[in-house]
Structure formats: C-alpha cells, structure tokens
Amino acid sequence: MSRTIHLALHPYGVGGPGQHGLWKDPSVAKNASIDINYYIQQAQAAEHALFDALFVVDSQFINSTYPAHYLNRLEPLTLLSAVATHTRHIGLVGTASSTYNSPFNLARRFASLDHISGGRAGWNVVTSFDTGTSRNFGLDEHLDYATRYGRALEFVQVARGLWDSYEDDAFPADVSRNVFLDPSKLHELRHEGEHFKVAGPLNLSRSPQGQPVIFQAGVSEEGRDLAAQVAEGIYAPGGTLQQAQEYYADIKKRTASYGRDPDHIKIFIHGSPVVAATDEAARRREREIFEEDNDFDRNLALLGRSFGAYDFSVHDLDAPFPDVAHLAEKGGRTGAAKLLERARTENLTLRQIAESVNSFRQSPFVGSPGTVADTIEQWFDAGTFDGINLAFRTTGELNLFVDGVVPILQKRGLFRTEYAADTLRGNLGLPVPDNRHTREPQLVND
C-alpha cells in the first residue's frame, strides 16, 4: 500500500493565538466557540472531505488578555461526545492535561468517548503550558519540567493498563448459563508508581479500536522523548522545510531507539492554507489576514504566556528585554529560551521581541489550488510529515481547500478517495494494541 497523506481539522471558533481579530469577521458567529452546531458542521464538512480527525485544543487557565476563543469555549470531551453522534468515520481527538487530571477518571472519560464513537477517540496528552493553571487546582505553583513529563509518562502507562482491564471476550452474556461476566477475564491493575497509585479495574470494556490513539505535542527534549515512547500521533511545530525534516527524522529515530516501529507514529505539522483563484490573490489575502490580527497589546500579552502569563506591560518597552529567565522553567521553556537567546545575542528591546512574536511569516501553503497541492506534495516527498493539522479561519476557506486542493491530491494518489475503516486507528494505519493479558509471550533466544 502506497504512503498517503493524513489530514486533520483544527477549528478556530472565534479565534485563538494569532487570530485575535477573527471574532470580528462577519462570517464568524460570535458564539461559535460554545455552539455545538458549529463543531458538528465543521466535523461533518471534514468527514465529507475524508479527513482523518477533528482536533480540539484546550487549556484550563485564562486572564482577560487571552484570545477570544480561549475566554469562552466548550470542554473537549463533552464537545466530542456530542460530535460523535453526528459523524461516522472521522477521528475525534481531544486535549487533556496529564498534570491536572487523575488517570482513572480521564481513562474512563476517553474510553467512554471511544465507545460512543465506535472506536474513533484520540487523546492529545499535554503537560499544561499555562503556569496559572496550578492555582485552579489547589497548587501554589506549576510543577517543573522533569516532574510534569515523568508524571505524563506514568499517566499514559496507567491509562493503557486500565483500558486493558477486560479481555475482549470477557462478557459472554449467556442467559442459559446465567453468566454475564467471565470473572477470570477481568484484571485489576494494582499500579503503584512514583506519581500514582491506582488499583483498578476500569468499569468499561475495550472499544473496536482497542484503545484511544495517543497524540502528543512537544518540542523540548522531554517532549520528544515522551512522544517517542508513547505517542501514536504527534503535532509537530512545522517551521521551514528543513526544520520540519529535522524534527521528523529526529522523532522517527527516537521512536526506533525505544524498540517501536517508526511507522506507528504519525507526525502532523500545522498548516493554515490560504487558497484563492491565483497565487497573487492568495498572497494578498494572506497579508490582509496578518494585518487584521496584528495588535501590539495582544502580541505583548501573547509573549507573556511563554513566561507563565507574565505581565510585560509593567516594563519599559524600549529598554533591553528584562531578565525573566527564571519564569521560563515552569512555562513554555523551549520557546522562551529561544526568545531569551535572541534578545541577548541581538541586544533587542522588549518592544522588538513582542513585535517579533507575531511578525509576518509567509506560509508555504498559500496560492491557487494547484500551487498549494504542489507544495504539499513537495513537503510530503521531502520527509517532513505524515499528515497536516489544518486550521482555517472560516468555513468558506475550508471549503476552498476541500473543493480545490483535495481533488488534486486525490488525483495524484496522495490522499484517499474513501475511508479505509470505521476507526481512527484503521484510517491512520495503526495497529490495534494487543491486550496485555492475552498477548503472546515473547520468546527470548539464549
């Protein structure tokens, strides 16, 4: 079977980071982020175009400077459970924190979504970017990197153990023998680790895809290693073609080093295509979009997220960038470190750094349908991704991509013309995990 591109849809609602002005667009409903019909329509449009998944991001901390979508949005698993009943094939991937949840509760919620959807659930494992989240969960401060990622690894291991509580044939439901459950096929977990103590079993059987698909997004060393150990899908940072190639190769190499098949981790880069009748019209629209969202105060607030929602407005904008390195350790450490290094080596002011956070950068996926398809094919062949996590500001822009670009990719044999399966795993080409209690033992040669 030839290698083909996977596509996911990341709906913007009324606008997240980098789309601060989206809520002003007359084609965007002002309540989009809390309107379940908006998400159902987005999912159905993506499913009609044969996309692999709908991806919903989340965070559990805000202040008044946050983007419109962050200020008022639905909880992902509640949202996706509703969407599941209006779709049949598209995967449903929700973001949930391993830092601010308990394994039993979250494992049960994702397993429930997996059953409701018939085996289409995915969990995007995050360790929480916003340091202020700690104060919403009774903690004085955010956990450090090592603790957060150690907890995340153990959390996923516990969840997977709970998802294997029942063997696949545990429920004979034989009325003649008065046997609903074969108790020999129900297994306690009895996990005792560094971060969690969970007895189990989970009171829910495995779904048609065995377990929800594990996604992860990380650029730090800890994030990349976590992905290589447990992820089956990963949301990559993208960047230039060369940067995307380097990241792709690094993750695949790390995955193999942990004894896993590199083909069993699908790397998605972020893409915000702008499609128009001509290349010139698309580039013009791309610039217009940037200008619509280019607000300095918002950029300054966005800069603060990498440093624990720090308020940079208290500083002189034209003075050297302040010494806030100590705030990066428990925030967005990787991105913050790059900003600090630039400020130091280039002697930049706070104003210059804030402006650079949202400076105009041309996207590679902008142009006529043919041009966008050509670029996608070029990047795919260059080994930069297995799929693209697509974000469109409006439904109209989604339709331009679906009607213009997708048919070209299909004609070239780069994208499916029908779904291969009813489960997310099946459509991503991922194996159903063996239940640990029925897995054949591995033979060891002397």
R_g (Cα) of the chain, nearest Å? 23
Which two tokens mark 321?
């960038």
Instruction: Report which of 343, 270, 345 is spatially closest to residue 307, judged by C-alpha positions.
Output: 343
The answer on whether 248 is annotated among ligand-binding residues is no
The answer on whether 422 is annotated among ligand-binding residues is no
**d(Cα 351, Cα 343) in Å, to the nearest integer?**
11
Amino acid code (one letter) for 445: N
Cα distances from 40 to residues 46, 53, 381, 383, 393, in angstroms, run 10, 13, 33, 33, 16
> CB burial class (10 A; 0-12, 13-18, 19+) of residue 224?
buried
Residues with Cβ < 8 Å from 396, sequence gap 6 or more?
Answer: 27
Which two tokens mark 395?
């439904």
The answer on whether 58 is annotated among ligand-binding residues is yes
**d(Cα 270, Cα 224) in Å, to the nearest integer?**
17
Angle at alpha carbon of residue 153, lines to 152 and 155, rounded to 5°: 60
Binding residues, by number, are: 58, 95, 149, 220
Binding residues for FMN, by number, are: 58, 95, 149, 220
